[in-house]
Chains A and B, each alone.
Chain A
Amino acid sequence: MIETKAITKTVSTSEGELQILQPISFHVKAGESIAIVGASGSGKSTLLGLLAGLDEVSSGEIMLDGQPLHTMDEEKRARLRGEKVGFIFQSFMLVQSLTALENIMLPAEINGLKNPREKALEILQQVGLGHRAHHYPNQLSGGEQQRVAIARAFITQPKILFADEPTGNLDAANSDKVEALLFKLNKDNNTTLVLVTHDTELANKCARQLHMQAGQLSESSLREAS
Chain B
Amino acid sequence: MKSVTLQLAWRLFRHEARRGELTIILFAIILSVASVLSLSLFSERLQQALTDRSAEFIAADRRLNSRHPVEQTWVDEAVNYGLQTAQQVSTRSMVFGGNEMALSDLRAVNQDYPLKGAITVAPQPFASASAVDGAPQAGEVWIDSRLFQLLDVELGDTIFVGDAPLTVTQVLGEIPDAGFSVFNTDPIVLMSMQDLAATNVAGPGSRVNYKTYYTGEASALEDYYDWLRPQLNDEVHYWMSVEDDESQIGRAVARAERYFLLASLLAIVLAAVSIAVAAQRYSQRHFDPVAIMKTIGATKRQIQQIYVLQITFITLLGIFVGAVLGVGIQQLVVTALGDAVEVSLSVWHWRPLVIALFTGSLCALMFSLYPLMQLFSVPPLRVLRRDMNASLSSRTLQFAAAGGAIFLLMWAYSSDLMVSAILFVSGIVLIAGLLAVTMGLIVLGRKLGGGAIGPWQLAWARIRRRAMDNSVQLISFSVTIMLLLVVLVMRNDMIAQWRAQLPEGTPNYFVSNVTEQQRPELIAHFDANNVQHDDFFPVVRGRFVAINDERIRTEVTKEDDEEPREGRDGLGREANLTWDLELQTGNVIKQGRWLDAWQPGMPDEVSVESEVAQRLDINLGDTLTFNVGSEIITVTVTSLREVDWQTMQPNFFFVLHPEAMKNYAATYITSFHLDESRKSEITRLMMPFASVTLFDVDARINQLRDVVDQVSLAVEFILILVLAAGSLVLIAQVQASMDERQQELAILRTLGAKGSLIRLSVVYEFIIIGVVAGFMAAVANEFSLWLLQSQVFQMEASIHWEYWLIAPAAGAIVVGILGALGCWRLLALNTGTLLRKMV
Chain A residues engaging chain B, CB cutoff 8 angstroms: 45, 48-49, 52, 54-55, 74-75, 78-79, 81-83, 85-87, 89, 91-99, 102, 106-107, 109-112, 136, 138, 152, 156, 164
Give the residues in chain A near B298, CB-CB below 8 Å. Answer: 78, 82, 110
Q: Are A93 and B288 neighbours in the complex by a CB distance under 8 Å? A: yes
B295 → chain A, closest Cβ, in Å? 6
Q: Are B383 and A110 neighbours in the complex by a CB distance under 8 Å? A: no
Chain A CB within 8 A of B684 CB: no
Q: Are B293 and A48 neighbours in the complex by a CB distance under 8 Å? A: no
- The interface residues of chain A, by DSSP majority, are classed as mixed
Q: Could you pull out 19 A-B pairs where Cβ atoms are within 8 angstroms? A: A49-B381, A54-B379, A55-B381, A74-B300, A75-B300, A81-B297, A81-B380, A82-B296, A89-B383, A89-B384, A93-B291, A93-B383, A95-B293, A97-B12, A99-B15, A110-B296, A111-B296, A152-B296, A156-B296
Q: Are A78 and B297 neighbours in the complex by a CB distance under 8 Å? A: yes
Cα–Cα distance between A209 and B837 once the two chains are bound (Å): 34
Q: Are A98 and B15 neighbours in the complex by a CB distance under 8 Å? A: yes
Q: Are B295 and A83 neighbours in the complex by a CB distance under 8 Å? A: no
Chain A CB within 8 A of B830 CB: no
Q: Are A110 and B381 neighbours in the complex by a CB distance under 8 Å? A: no
The 6 closest A-B pairs by CB, nearest first: A82-B297, A107-B296, A97-B15, A54-B381, A110-B298, A95-B289
Chain B residues engaging chain A, CB cutoff 8 angstroms: 2, 4, 7-8, 11-12, 15-16, 19, 21, 288-289, 291-300, 302, 379-381, 383-386, 836, 839
Q: Are B297 and A107 neighbours in the complex by a CB distance under 8 Å? A: yes
Q: Are B7 and A109 neighbours in the complex by a CB distance under 8 Å? A: yes
Q: Which residue of A lies closest to B298 (CB)?
A: A110
Q: Are A109 and B15 neighbours in the complex by a CB distance under 8 Å? A: no
Q: Are A54 and B383 neighbours in the complex by a CB distance under 8 Å? A: yes
Give the residues in chain A near B12, CB-CB below 8 Å. Answer: 95, 97-98
Give the residues in chain B near A91, CB-CB below 8 Å. Answer: 386, 839
Q: Are A111 and B297 neighbours in the complex by a CB distance under 8 Å? A: yes
Q: Are B293 and A102 neighbours in the complex by a CB distance under 8 Å? A: no
A172 → chain B, closest Cβ, in Å? 19
Neighbour of A110 across the interface among B21, B302, B386, B839, CB < 8 A: B302
Neighbour of B836 across the interface among A52, A138, A156, CB < 8 A: A138
Cα–Cα distance between A132 and B300 once the two chains are bound (Å): 31
Give the residues in chain B near A93, CB-CB below 8 Å. Answer: 288, 291-292, 295, 383
B15 → chain A, closest Cβ, in Å? 5
Give the residues in chain A near B4, CB-CB below 8 Å. Answer: 109-110, 112
Q: Are A136 and B19 neighbours in the complex by a CB distance under 8 Å? A: yes
Give the residues in chain A near B289, CB-CB below 8 Å. Answer: 95-97
Cα–Cα distance between A81 and B288 once the two chains are bound (Å): 17
Q: Which residue of B lies closest to A48 (CB)?
A: B384
A60 → chain B, closest Cβ, in Å? 18
Q: Are A83 and B381 neighbours in the complex by a CB distance under 8 Å? A: no
Q: Are B384 and A54 neighbours in the complex by a CB distance under 8 Å? A: yes
Q: Which of A54, A85, A89 lies at the interface centre, i.e. has the most chain B CB atoms within 10 A of its CB? A: A54
Give the residues in chain A near B19, CB-CB below 8 Å. Answer: 97, 136
Give the residues in chain A near B21, CB-CB below 8 Å. Answer: 97
Q: Which residue of B lies closest to A111 (CB)?
A: B297
Neighbour of A78 across the interface among B7, B8, B294, B383, CB < 8 A: B294
* A-B contacts besides A98-B12, A110-B302, 14 pairs, CB < 8 Å: A49-B381, A54-B379, A78-B300, A81-B296, A86-B296, A91-B839, A93-B292, A98-B11, A102-B15, A110-B298, A111-B296, A111-B297, A112-B4, A136-B19
Q: Are B297 and A49 neighbours in the complex by a CB distance under 8 Å? A: no
Q: Are B384 and A49 neighbours in the complex by a CB distance under 8 Å? A: yes
Give the residues in chain A near B380, CB-CB below 8 Å. Answer: 54, 74, 78, 81
Cα–Cα distance between A146 and B220 once the two chains are bound (Å): 72
Given known A-B contacts A48-B384, A109-B7, A136-B19, A79 and B297 have beta carbons under 8 A apart: yes
Q: Which residue of A lies closest to B2 (CB)?
A: A112
Cα–Cα distance between A138 and B832 once the two chains are bound (Å): 12
Cα–Cα distance between A178 and B19 once the two chains are bound (Å): 29
B443 → chain A, closest Cβ, in Å? 21
Q: Which residue of B lies closest to A99 (CB)?
A: B15
Q: Which residue of B lies closest to A169 (CB)?
A: B839
Given known A-B contacts A98-B11, A138-B836, A106 and B296 have beta carbons under 8 A apart: yes
Q: Which of A52, A89, A93 lies at the interface centre, i.e. has the most chain B CB atoms within 10 A of its CB? A: A93
Cα–Cα distance between A31 and B583 once the two chains are bound (Å): 104
Cα–Cα distance between A106 and B15 once the two chains are bound (Å): 14
Cα–Cα distance between A64 and B288 once the two chains are bound (Å): 26
Give the residues in chain B near A152, CB-CB below 8 Å. Answer: 296
A7 → chain B, closest Cβ, in Å? 15
Q: Which residue of A lies closest to B297 (CB)?
A: A82
Q: Are B11 and A87 neighbours in the complex by a CB distance under 8 Å? A: no
Q: Are A95 and B8 neighbours in the complex by a CB distance under 8 Å? A: no
Q: Are A81 and B295 neighbours in the complex by a CB distance under 8 Å? A: yes
Cα–Cα distance between A106 and B8 once the two chains are bound (Å): 8
Give the residues in chain B near A87, CB-CB below 8 Å. Answer: 295-296, 383
Q: Are B384 and A110 neighbours in the complex by a CB distance under 8 Å? A: no
Q: Which residue of B lies closest to A80 (CB)?
A: B297
Q: Are B295 and A54 neighbours in the complex by a CB distance under 8 Å? A: yes
A197 → chain B, closest Cβ, in Å? 14
Give the residues in chain A near B2, CB-CB below 8 Å. Answer: 112
Give the residues in chain B near A85, CB-CB below 8 Å. Answer: 297
Give the residues in chain A near B294, CB-CB below 8 Å. Answer: 78
Q: Which residue of A lies closest to B838 (CB)?
A: A91
Q: Which residue of A lies closest to B13 (CB)?
A: A97
B21 → chain A, closest Cβ, in Å? 6
Cα–Cα distance between A79 and B302 once the two chains are bound (Å): 11
Q: Are B292 and A102 neighbours in the complex by a CB distance under 8 Å? A: no
Give the residues in chain A near B836, CB-CB below 8 Å. Answer: 138
Cα–Cα distance between A111 and B302 once the two chains are bound (Å): 10
Give the residues in chain B near A110, CB-CB below 8 Å. Answer: 4, 8, 293, 296-298, 302
B829 → chain A, closest Cβ, in Å? 12
Q: Which residue of B lies closest to A76 (CB)?
A: B299
Give the residues in chain A near B299, CB-CB below 8 Å. Answer: 75, 78-79
Q: Which of A75, A89, A109 lies at the interface centre, i.e. has the most chain B CB atoms within 10 A of its CB? A: A109
B766 → chain A, closest Cβ, in Å? 28
B48 → chain A, closest Cβ, in Å? 46
Give the residues in chain B near A112, CB-CB below 8 Å. Answer: 2, 4
Give the residues in chain B near A74, CB-CB below 8 Å. Answer: 300, 380
Give the residues in chain A near B300, CB-CB below 8 Å. Answer: 74-75, 78
Give the residues in chain B near A138, CB-CB below 8 Å. Answer: 836
Give the residues in chain A near B8, CB-CB below 8 Å. Answer: 106, 109-110
Give the residues in chain A near B292, CB-CB below 8 Å. Answer: 93-95, 106
